[in-house]
Amino acid sequence: MIGVVIPAHNEAAHIVTCLQSVLRAAAHPELAGDIVRTFVVVDSCTDSTAALAHACGAETICVTARNVGVARAEGARVALAGEARWLAFTDADCAVADDWLACQLRCNTEVVCGVIQIDDWTGHHEAVREDFVSTYTDADGHRHIHGANLGLTAAAYVRVGGFPPLEWNEDVALVRALIDSGAEITWSAAARVVTSARVDSRADKGFGATLRAVSEKVGRQYASSTWAQSVLAGPASGESGQT
């Protein structure tokens, strides 16, 4: 059995799109004969996330931790209890590729770290998109770690003790432990996930926080550039520039 684990805190606006993408990935012909169970870990939700997930056919697990590490670990625990041989993780504001699970298994390795892409930059300055594109390695051999695009064998997960109970960077901590354990890791650009460019992220120091930091940097640079241009231009026509 393949277990897909999705932590969610008040994700009613995104969870249906996410689960529809997972259903398509689970129906990929290369997975013929493999059962795929999807577990949405509903963490301290006050909206309709759980009901929507259930309506999409996902299994829901309720926790009150407000901690993504705890949520991922609980989803993995339930999946392992159901005898999952492969664990795949994504986030509720993401849409996985139709061949997402097939690509992970095709790598024939213990761990697959995939890449993310952003298709909608609405609300961001163009410079934010340019910064991401210029600094992100979207190619095999990258070294990005995303809880939104991660897969591994049950044996490798159990060997390192699973996700630590961290509010952020739980994915980084897990992969570092896997590296230390000598796990075979494939850094793949074939396993793809589209994620949100929202800055009101659920984790204080997750991907959304990175985008916030870039947006703030761009804003400061833009403000500084505008001020410098106004100084260099001098006083407007008809003004003496004297006080």
Residue-wise pLDDT for 61-93, tens only, equals 999 999 999 999 999 999 999 999 999 999 999
Decide if 167 contacts 67 (C-beta within 8 A).
Answer: yes
In whole angstroms, how far apart are CA 225 and each of 141, 220, 235, 241? 37, 8, 17, 20
Closest by Cα among 136, 146, 10, 43 to 88: 146
For the segment 145-171, the average pLDDT, to the nearest whole number, is 98
Q: Which CATH number fits domain 2-232: 2.60.120.10, 3.40.50.880, 3.40.30.10, 3.90.550.10?
A: 3.90.550.10
User: At a CB cut-off of 8 Å and minimum separation 6, what does 150 contact?
Assistant: 88, 89, 90, 111, 112, 113, 114, 171, 174, 175
Q: How confident is the model at residue 2 (pLDDT cuts 50, 70, 90)?
A: very high
Q: How confident is the model at residue 99 (pLDDT cuts 50, 70, 90)?
A: very high
Q: How confident is the model at residue 230 (pLDDT cuts 50, 70, 90)?
A: very low
Query: Per mean pLDDT, which range of 104-118, 135-149, 223-237 is the poorest?
Result: 223-237
On the question of pLDDT at 238 being above 90, the answer is: no
Q: How confident is the model at residue 123 (pLDDT cuts 50, 70, 90)?
A: confident
- Burial classification of residue 141, based on how many CB atoms lie within 10 Å of its CB (0-12 exposed, 13-18 middle, 19 or more buried): exposed
- Measured in degrees and rounded to the nearest 5, phi and psi for residue 203 equal -100, 135
Q: How confident is the model at residue 211 (pLDDT cuts 50, 70, 90)?
A: low
Higher pLDDT: 210 or 51? It is: 51
pLDDT of residue 221: 58
Q: What is this structure's pTM?
A: 0.84
The two tokens of residue 30 are 């290369």
What is the percent of the chain with per-residue pLDDT over 70, rounded to a whole number?
81
pLDDT of residue 210: 61
On the question of pLDDT at 206 being above 90, the answer is: no
Helix (H) or strand (E) holding 212: helix 207-233
Q: What does DSSP assign to residue 236?
A: P
- Measured in degrees and rounded to the nearest 5, phi and psi for residue 223 equal -65, -45
On the question of pLDDT at 225 being above 80, the answer is: no
In whole angstroms, how far apart are CA 133 and each of 97, 120, 130, 223, 239? 20, 13, 5, 22, 43
**What average pLDDT is seen over the chain?**
88
The C-alpha atoms of residue 208 and residue 175 are separated, in whole angstroms, by 20
On the question of pLDDT at 234 being above 60, the answer is: no
Q: How confident is the model at residue 120 (pLDDT cuts 50, 70, 90)?
A: confident
pLDDT of residue 60: 98
Domain boundaries along the sequence of the chain: 2-232
Q: How confident is the model at residue 202 (pLDDT cuts 50, 70, 90)?
A: low
pLDDT of residue 124: 82
Q: How confident is the model at residue 175 (pLDDT cuts 50, 70, 90)?
A: very high
